[in-house]
Amino acid sequence: MQQLDITAEVAADRAAIDAEVDGRTLPSAFADTVARLGDAVALKWRTADGWQALTWRQYREAVAEVALGLGSLGFGPGQFLLLWSRNRPEPQIADLAALHARGCPVSLYNTLAPVQAAYIANHCEATMAVVEDRGFLAKLEAVRDQLPHLRRVILLEGEPGPGEEWLTTWEAVRAAGRAEAERRPGAFEDSWRQVTPDDLATLIYTSGTTGPPKGVMIPQRNVLWLGSANNRVLPPEGETGRLISYLPLAHATGRTVDHWLGLLNGGTIHFCPDPTKLFEYALEVHPTVLVGVPRIWEKLHAGLTAAIAADPDAARRQAVETAIAVRRQAVRLRQEGREPPAELAAGAERALPVARALLARVGLDECEQAVTGAAPLDPAIIEFFQALGLSMTEGWGMTELTCAATITSMDRVRNGTVGYAYPGIEVRIADDGEVLVRGPIVMAGYYKDPQKTAEAIDADGWMHTGDIGTMDADGYVKIVDRKKELIITAGGKNISPANVEHMLLQHPLIGQACAIGDRRSYVTALLVLDAEMAPVWAKRRGLDAGSAADLAAHPEVLAEVERAVAAANEHLARVEQVKRFTIVPAEWTPESGELTPTLKMRRRVIVDRYAAEIEAMYA
Report the CATH number that the domain containing residue 610 is assigned in CATH.
3.30.300.30
Sign, CA dihedral 551-556-558-562, equals: negative
Residues 464, 426 share a domain: yes
CA 137 to the chain's CA centroid: 26
Answer yes or no: is pLDDT of 207 > 70: no
Answer yes or no: is pLDDT of 571 > 50: yes
The last residue of one of the domains, among 483, 516, 549, is 483
11 sits in which H/E element:
helix 2-21
Residues 282, 324 share a domain: no
The last residue of one of the domains, among 467, 483, 499, is 483
Residues 356, 445 share a domain: yes
Question: What is the number of other CB atoms lying within 10 angstroms of the CB of residue 91?
Answer: 24
> Residue 260 domain-assigned?
yes
pLDDT (0 to 100) of residue 211:
64
Residues 477, 346 share a domain: yes
- Total structural domains in the chain? 3
Question: Closest Cα to residue 510, out of 533, 484, 536, 541?
Answer: 533
Q: Which amino acid does the sequence have at 593?
A: G
Q: Report the pLDDT averaged over residues 558-587.
A: 91
- Please give the residue range of the domain that contains residue 325: 294-483
Residues 518, 430 share a domain: no
> Residue 474 domain-assigned?
yes
> Residue 308 domain-assigned?
yes
pLDDT (0 to 100) of residue 163:
87
> Residue 400 domain-assigned?
yes
CA distance linking residue 292 with residue 362, whole number of Å: 14
Residues 397, 264 share a domain: no
State pLDDT tens for residues 348-398: 999 999 899 999 999 999 999 999 987 778 899 999 999 999 999 999 999
Residues 312, 257 share a domain: no
Eight-state DSSP code of residue 120: H
Residues 559, 490 share a domain: yes
What is the bridge-based pairing of β-strands 369-372 and 215-219?
Answer: unpaired
- 3-class DSSP state of 148: coil
Residues 533, 442 share a domain: no
Q: Kindly report each contact of residues 188-193 with a partner whose C-beta sits within 8 Å and lies 24 or more positions away, as own/partner.
A: 188/64, 188/67, 188/68, 188/100, 191/67, 191/71, 191/100, 191/101, 191/102, 192/25, 192/27, 192/28, 192/31, 192/67, 192/99, 192/100, 192/102, 193/27, 193/28
CA distance linking residue 386 with residue 367, whole number of Å: 12
Residues 375, 256 share a domain: no
CA distance linking residue 289 with residue 243, whole number of Å: 6
Question: Closest Cα to residue 87, out of 156, 168, 172?
Answer: 156
What does pLDDT average to over the chain? Answer: 92
Question: Closest Cα to residue 26, out of 204, 219, 216?
Answer: 219
> Residue 48 domain-assigned?
yes
> Residue 123 domain-assigned?
yes
What is the bridge-based pairing of β-strands 369-372 and 392-394?
Answer: parallel
State pLDDT tens for residues 69-98: 999 999 999 999 999 999 999 999 999 999
Question: Helix 114-124 to helix 134-142 angle, to the nearest 10 degrees?
Answer: 70
CA distance linking residue 230 with residue 419, whole number of Å: 13
Return the higher-pLDDT residue of 520 and 58.
58
> Residue 15 domain-assigned?
no
In sequence order, the 6+-apart residues with CB closer than 8 A to the CB of 495 are 486, 487, 488, 489, 515, 517, 523, 575, 576
Question: What is the number of other CB atoms lying within 10 angstroms of the CB of residue 138?
Answer: 11
> Residue 8 domain-assigned?
no
Q: Are 30 and 63 spatial neighbours (Cβ–Cβ below 8 Å)?
A: yes
We report the CATH number of the domain holding residue 96 as 3.40.50.12780
pLDDT (0 to 100) of residue 210:
55
Answer yes or no: is pLDDT of 5 > 60: no
578 sits in which H/E element:
strand 578-583
445 sits in which H/E element:
strand 445-446
Q: Report the pLDDT averaged over residues 44-71.
A: 98
pLDDT (0 to 100) of residue 553:
86
CA distance linking residue 82 with residue 137, whole number of Å: 12
List alpha helices for 215-255, DSSP H: 220-233, 252-255
Q: Report the pLDDT averaged over residues 102-128.
A: 95
Answer yes or no: is pLDDT of 43 > 60: yes
Residues 355, 425 share a domain: yes
- 3-class DSSP state of 261: helix
What is the Rg, in whole angstroms, of the alpha carbon atoms belonging to the chain? 25
The last residue of one of the domains, among 483, 517, 535, is 483
Q: Which amino acid does the sequence have at 295?
A: R
Residues 261, 321 share a domain: no
List alpha helices for 412-547, DSSP H: 450-456, 497-504, 533-540
Q: Are 202 and 255 spatial neighbours (Cβ–Cβ below 8 Å)?
A: yes
% of residues, the chain, pLDDT over 70: 97
